[in-house]
Structure 1
Amino acid sequence: MKNDRWVNLRTFEEGFRGRGIDAVFGAMVNFDALYDNARSPFADQLKLHALLSGMSKGYLLPLAAYNPKADMDSGGKMLADVLDALANKGFIGVKIYPPVGFYPYGNVEFGKGHGKDFMMTARQFDEHMLSLFRECGKLGAPVMAHANKSMGRSKAWDNGNKPEGWIALAKQMALDQQTPIVNLGHFAGDEKFDDDWQPKYASLLTDPGTSKMYADLGNWKHLRGCTADSGCAALERLKATIASYPGVEKKLMYGSDWFMMIKSSNWQDYAGDLARALSDMNLDALFYDNAVNCYGLVPGGMRRAAVEKHLGYLPAWLA
């Protein structure tokens, strides 16, 4: 966590590239205002990630962090910086982190148990989040979000990622004949919780009105050691979800959550472990096609054009 970012990128590349991982989509998190203050200005962090992307020849394609409270405190400058990164610095998406204290949408409805102070700004949170998704839609940029139970800023925010906030967002945007472009990180997680998050997310992903919503299997560590016919609990749970919601497998993609995964032994084998466990699925779609579609990197895609504009060429793995 305390390494320079170029060191982490080098470590990741050295560990994964020889195993067929030809690119990494690097997600930032912004903890300003709601959790902690950064030690370097946000705009400088964006410049750094753009520089790392260029120096890696497009091995790293970055996602810009967005924190609605920090945006409020900056008078909208944070969103302006994010949109500039998408338009001019080769960023392919945005990362939000609901555990720090907001829902993707529906803060007025779902935030009633979070105290009077929060409710005084709940409507502003909804307005800023809706603005983010609308602006990202114009640029063809997906928003990646933590979408499983987590250790939130306080206990009240452990469930800030629950499906209801995303369902509310999809309904609100449908009123304007829009659909959010989203990567639901972790797809509710690989552990069995006493909840119905994964089925609700699967239902949302397979709804005809959410064609631009996807999910990843980041840090599904309980799939390691499984094989397609091994009967592991996490794998059986995923198979049951796919059987109940046909088509959801077309919305799933590989993810790592490297900062969490690196604490595990043999982290370099993670992608191969998932490939073995999920060998019954379309691995080309899981490891490439779905991500390229979600992130607008297909020929003619807006993010593909932004990457080529920033680098002056297309990365070899994408060309």
Structure 2
Amino acid sequence: MSNGESQGLIVVTGQQDDENRRKIAEAAGKLPVRFVATMQDAGDLLGEAVAVAGTVSADHLAAAPGLRWVHSWAAGANNDLTPEMVTSDVVLTSSVGNGAIPLAEHSILLMIMLNRDVPRWMSNQSARTWERFTHGELNGKTLGIYGVGHAGSDLALKAQAFHMRVLGCRRNHEAAVPGIDQMYSPERLTEFVAECDFVVVTAPFTSSTAGAFSADVFRSMKPTAFWICISRGGIADDDALLLALREGWIAGAGIDAHGVEPLPSDSPFWTAPNTIITPHNGATTRATAQRGVEIFVENLRRFVAGQSLHNIVDKVHGY
């Protein structure tokens, strides 16, 4: 990316503490770094910027003629892939992988909550009602992971620790993944979901995953199965998902990533049967943010040294 003699600024957005600022400045070497709270605060700095850590709009691109690299603090790049970014020569990298651990944990949490009907316990606690009932366990169940990337791979290993059978479904279905007992191609999605007691969506939102979970797919699931989404909304057809929940095609859902965010107060998902809603909050940990900084710092070192960058986004495939 650079011969070490580049001129220009590194613009970094976000609330960085003193230690992270030190790490970033050190990685930048001789290139000056300017820290701003948001891209709206960057102003005239963009005219001198060669690299930006933040979300860059079409207007920002136009104001930064010397821009060569943008790093997104997000793991998923769908919000960064504007038409202007896609057609530009600017290299886009992401923080993919930074939230894999908490997202896998959140998936396990939602599976256990749904399988054991935790909302029923919480409701009984509020009503001070002592009610014992028979519930499920994860042991021996089949988990299907749609989109076996960083979060999906970590989830597979965690699920194995719960003695679950684990299936995977992704575009690169021929490559073996630790913890996955069998891999399916996206073309076999209905066959894949029919095997599962839990289907967890960890895939990015792209043109090929948008609306992938249609009415036909939900109808192919077991009526005792649960559907969970922790990556991006829009991968399920919301109307089909609501119908699946209301008509009992599936047993319930755990939804952290939604088609519309924030989820409107009048959304029918709030009151959908056997549904647990979390506000796209599964990876909101301090460790996730710090791992994102570490990814950027390593890439900044590489940018200055003229080395290839990690986590380069394929602008065609969207991740």
TM range (shorter): 0.3 to 0.5
The TM-score normalised by the length of structure 2 is 0.32
Higher CA-based Rg: 2
> Which structure has more strand as a fraction of its residues?
2
The TM-score normalised by the length of structure 1 is 0.32
> Which structure has more helix as a fraction of its residues?
1
